[in-house]
Amino acid sequence: MEKTQGNTQSGIQGSSTVAEKRFVPQTQRKGLQNIRNLILLGVLLAAGIVLKAVNPVNVPGMKPNFVIAMYCLSIMLIEPTLVEGLIIGVLAGVICQFFPGTPYINIVSEAIGAAAMVLLLRVPMKVKKFDLHPTIATFISTLCSGFSFIAVMYLAFYAGADVTPIALGAFMTIIFGTAAINAIIVQALAVPLKLALHGRKG
């Protein structure tokens, strides 16, 4: 009987060890290696396309690029690597080609903007418990995208390409206005989406 009880106890311990191994919690993969993150990226970029097409901000002479806001938000939520951030930016730039504008320049400018967002998320920006990344990082990333767009546009113009540059004064208004709008959008959506995706500890 003692041997049987001993075998039974060892069997229970063995099965519990196997159960523990089976139910070891797995850390959530970040970046584009996660299927859920890829779906989230697709949904947010689609939302950016709709917003860019509809343009709910009715300001004369100004049409903000909401695709920038959505890729900034997606980068904040899925936390990609720098290379993955560049891929997201290039994808966003390709999407922008379906709208009127200067062809191909968006591919460069959005890649730079997305890379800036990835890097800025690594800089501490918390005031007590309040995270300023959604506002500050999005604002600066939008400026990086806008200024790189201007730079590439004028370089192409002076290189003899068939490009008509926009007056710098008008462009500055668009860039800073878009940066402010994008910062507000991302700040408003970041917290509820983080809670929905990761819970209160995320």
Rounded (10°) CA dihedral 189, 180, 94, 32? -40
pLDDT in tens, 4-31: 555 545 554 554 444 444 443 445 567 7
- For residue 33, pLDDT over 50 is answered with yes
Name residue 131's beta-bridge partners.
126
At 61 the pLDDT is 57
DSSP letters spanning 95-126: HHTTSSSSTTHHHHHHHHHHHHHHHHTTS--E
* Type of residue numbered 60: P
Question: Which residue's entry shows tokens 């900034």?
Answer: 72
At 162 the pLDDT is 75
- For residue 148, pLDDT over 80 is answered with yes
The first and second tokens of residue 47, run together, are 């939302």
**Closest Cα to residue 154, out of 166, 136, 143?**
166
The first and second tokens of residue 185, run together, are 């959008």
Domains along the sequence of the chain with CATH: 28-198 (1.10.1760.20)
At 98 the pLDDT is 84
Q: pLDDT tier at 200 (50, 70, 90 boundaries)?
A: very low
Decide if 182 contacts 138 (C-beta within 8 A). Answer: yes
Angle CA 37–42–44, to nearest 5: 95
Decide if 97 contacts 103 (C-beta within 8 A). Answer: yes
pLDDT in tens, 150-161: 999 889 888 877
**In this predicted structure, which of 84-88, 159-163, 168-172 has the lowest mean pLDDT?**
159-163
At 174 the pLDDT is 86
At 180 the pLDDT is 93
Q: In angstroms, rounded to a whole number, what is the distance separating the alpha carbons of residues 172 and 180?
A: 12
More confident residue, 103 or 186: 186
